[in-house]
A and B are shown apart, each in its own frame.
Chain A
Amino acid sequence: MEFLQTPPDPDAYIVLAVFLFSIGAVGFLVRRNAIVMFMCIELMLNAVNLSLVSFGRALSDLSGQILVFFVLVVAAAEVMVGLAILVAIFRRRARASADDMSSLKG
């Protein structure tokens, strides 16, 4: 189990995390479906989790990994509220596209 003892080089993980985060960030801006937008946010949060864990591992420090738990919990709570609002919107309109949500403008 020697590979567990030596902290790995975090660079590769961070590059992957940045890559995943960018997919999520761009996807959020490009896609119009509210549920896909939620998925993109999840992707971003999980990229953050990956980078937190790999930084924590490289630094031999636990606090980064502890933060990951909180991120998971908060992400679940956020999606819950989001889906609840989405269901309320679905009851009125049978679609959940961001283009439909354009009654507010100045």
Chain B
Amino acid sequence: MSVLAQAIPAPQTDYTTIIPELIVLGTGLLIVLMLAIRRFSNIGWYALIAALGFAAAGIVAYVDLWPEVTDGAATYAFSGMVAADGFSTFVVILSCVAGVLAVLLANSYLKREGLDKAEYFALLLFSAAGVQFMAMANNLVMVFLALEILSVCLYVLSAWNRDKFASQEAGMKYLLLGAYTSAIMLFGISFLYGGTGTLNIAALAQFFARNVLENQGLVFLGMALVVVGLAFKIAAVPFHMWAPDVYQGAPAPVVGYMAAAAKIAAFAALFRILFLGLSAMEVDWKPLLWGLAILSMIVGSLLALVQSDVKRMMAYSSISHAGFIAIGVAAASAEGMSGALFYLVTYTFMIAGAFAVIDCIGRKDEQYTKYEDYRGLFAREPLLAAILTFFLFALAGIPGTSGFVAKFVVFEGAAEGGQWALIGIGTVAAVIALFFYLRLIVLMYMQDSTERPDLAETRARVAAGPAVVLAVTVAATVLLGILPQGLLDMAGQAVFAL
């Protein structure tokens, strides 16, 4: 009988597994609908709705789903398209936190720049739904769709500043290279499909358990191309070319969100595809991640040394962070994976906080992002300089901050797997990284700013939203640095319940 003559079974639709996603998507649609009916003149209302939507989704995920999923095995819904387990729920909660921070950051930025269109918040919500579905995706179709939902929203957000050519250029570059690598990843998916006959990630694992691989080359090529596509999203060397340009050109509140959200989503998909689907091919994908991790850490740290723009430096810093997180994946163990999850949480807070400061110091049009604008910052803006110093130290991984604990746990995961070379190179990269963070810190404190009257005249204004973001992110970074155990347990549970 031809395949076309078979009846297609109606899918099981268990909506309870995707309640947080439905809330986030629903809030986004609500904002779009409200815009069609009547526009509030103050976009603060839309910001409030978006923040409430994120908060509600996060709370539902934590209160309703988390105890359920950490108890038992994963539940598959929608014909195995999505999986609700500890891992996906953890990422859902994290993406909601990132979303709330992004909304708080954006509100004052949009008003200051005269770009106050509420579609921004709808796009934020949609992109967060993309992150969440990516973490839940149990089918390569879902991985692709969720990745595109996330990416297309991020392309638009990057190009948000209509009045700035750099922003549009950033959006265009991100889109062109993003679409290019999406096509490469899709080609990989089609090879995986051709070699194994399934797009379902859980079924991939069953296929490897049951069969001796005939088309080894085909499947290997497919896996490698999928890794390339996801490596682009996390900006791992050598697929990082877009990151410096996009980070520099895109609005600071967008970057503070995008840097975390894209990494969370792509790492979540990497975990699921490699650990669950292709665990039988561990010997094949481990070296790939090894290479990505080492190159990202070293090249990212070295190139960050020679930058003269803070946003661009943060881009290279985020590349090296991608390398550190990739260590957790390359360790190919539950410890490494929960370490990487913990790292992603701390990174979400640190990057949001750092870009909140960069946004405030940049002022209108983000005109002050060069190193020379930061010269003598401490004399002019003691508090902002102190907070930025704190975040730079946290990003560098100084003990007492969450950045240190995060690096420690991924190294621990790698040590359990006996990956000493990776740890050695990671330590060297961390030392190099300390240098480029220190360079900016020294500029802020040691130099005299008398030759910059334009900066001395106008004080940087910290609006309410960024102030809340700064308070929350500083508190989280300190707290996770001193008392990380609660979150570490959660990350461990998330991986255990996978």
How many residues does chain B have at the interface if contact means C-beta atoms less than 8 Å apart? 47
**CB of A63 to closest CB in B, whole Å:** 5
B309 at the interface (CB under 8 A from A): yes
A30 at the interface (CB under 8 A from B): no
Q: CA separation between A41 and B151, bound complex, in Å? A: 16
Contact (Cβ within 8 A) A48 B183: yes
Q: CA separation between A67 and B308, bound complex, in Å? A: 44
Task: Among B159, B184, B190, B307, point to the contact of A106 (Cβ < 8 A).
Answer: B307
Closest to A106 in B: B312
CB proximity to B under 8 Å, residues A66-100: 66-67, 70-71, 74, 77-78, 81-82, 85-86, 88-89, 92, 98
Q: A38-B176, A74-B182 are in contact. List 11 more A-B contacts (CB 8 A).
A: A25-B183, A44-B184, A48-B190, A55-B190, A61-B197, A63-B193, A64-B190, A78-B179, A82-B172, A104-B170, A106-B308
B171 at the interface (CB under 8 A from A): yes
Q: Known A67-B199, A74-B145, A88-B159; judge A101-B175 contact (CB<8 A).
A: no
B165 at the interface (CB under 8 A from A): yes
Contact (Cβ within 8 A) A21 B187: yes
* B394-410 vs A, Cβ < 8 Å mask (1 yes, 0 no): 00000000000000000
Tell me which residues across on chain A come within 8 A of B420, comparing CB atoms: none
Tell me which residues across on chain B come within 8 A of A92, comparing CB atoms: 165, 168
Tell me which residues across on chain A come within 8 A of B144, comparing CB atoms: 67, 70-71, 74
Q: CA separation between A51 and B190, bound complex, in Å? A: 7
B166 at the interface (CB under 8 A from A): yes
Q: CA separation between A78 and B169, bound complex, in Å? A: 16
B245 at the interface (CB under 8 A from A): yes
Q: CA separation between A52 and B192, bound complex, in Å? A: 10
Task: Among A44, A60, A64, A86, point to the contact of B183 (Cβ < 8 A).
Answer: A44
Q: CA separation between A60 and B194, bound complex, in Å? A: 11
Closest to A75 in B: B179
- Which of A24, A70, A74 is the most central at the interface, judged by chain B CB atoms within 10 Å of its CB? A74
**CB of A101 to closest CB in B, whole Å:** 5
Tell me which residues across on chain A come within 8 A of B307, comparing CB atoms: 106
Contact (Cβ within 8 A) B162 A70: no
Tell me which residues across on chain A come within 8 A of B172, comparing CB atoms: 34, 82, 85-86, 89, 101
Task: Among B148, B180, B309, point to the contact of A74 (Cβ < 8 A).
Answer: B148
How many residues does chain A have at the interface if contact means C-beta atoms less than 8 Å apart? 48
- Sample (18) of A-B pairs whose CB atoms are under 8 Å apart: A4-B2, A5-B2, A28-B180, A62-B8, A63-B193, A67-B140, A67-B141, A67-B189, A71-B144, A74-B152, A77-B148, A77-B152, A88-B168, A92-B165, A98-B176, A103-B169, A106-B244, A106-B312
Closest to B192 in A: A55
**CB of A32 to closest CB in B, whole Å:** 11
Contact (Cβ within 8 A) B152 A45: no
Q: Known A34-B172, A47-B187; judge A41-B179 contact (CB<8 A).
A: yes
B186 at the interface (CB under 8 A from A): yes
Contact (Cβ within 8 A) A44 B199: no
Contact (Cβ within 8 A) A45 B186: yes
Q: CA separation between A16 and B349, bound complex, in Å? A: 47
Task: Among A5, A63, A98, point to the contact of B198 (Cβ < 8 A).
Answer: A63
Task: Among A25, A60, A86, A104, point to the contact of B249 (Cβ < 8 A).
Answer: A104
Closest to B177 in A: A28
- Which of A17, A56, A85 is the most central at the interface, judged by chain B CB atoms within 10 Å of its CB? A85
**CB of A104 to closest CB in B, whole Å:** 4
Task: Among B145, B155, B198, point to the contact of A85 (Cβ < 8 A).
Answer: B155
A59 at the interface (CB under 8 A from B): yes
Closest to B169 in A: A101
Q: CA separation between A86 and B179, bound complex, in Å? A: 15
Closest to B140 in A: A67
CB proximity to A under 8 Å, residues B123-162: 140-141, 144-145, 148, 152, 155-156, 159, 162
Q: Known A5-B2, A55-B193, A92-B165; judge A45-B175 contact (CB<8 A).
A: no
Contact (Cβ within 8 A) A104 B248: yes
Q: CA separation between A5 and B179, bound complex, in Å? A: 36
Contact (Cβ within 8 A) B309 A106: yes
Q: Known A63-B198, A82-B176, A85-B175; judge A71-B186 contact (CB<8 A).
A: yes
Q: Known A37-B176, A51-B194; judge A104-B189 contact (CB<8 A).
A: no
Contact (Cβ within 8 A) B245 A104: yes
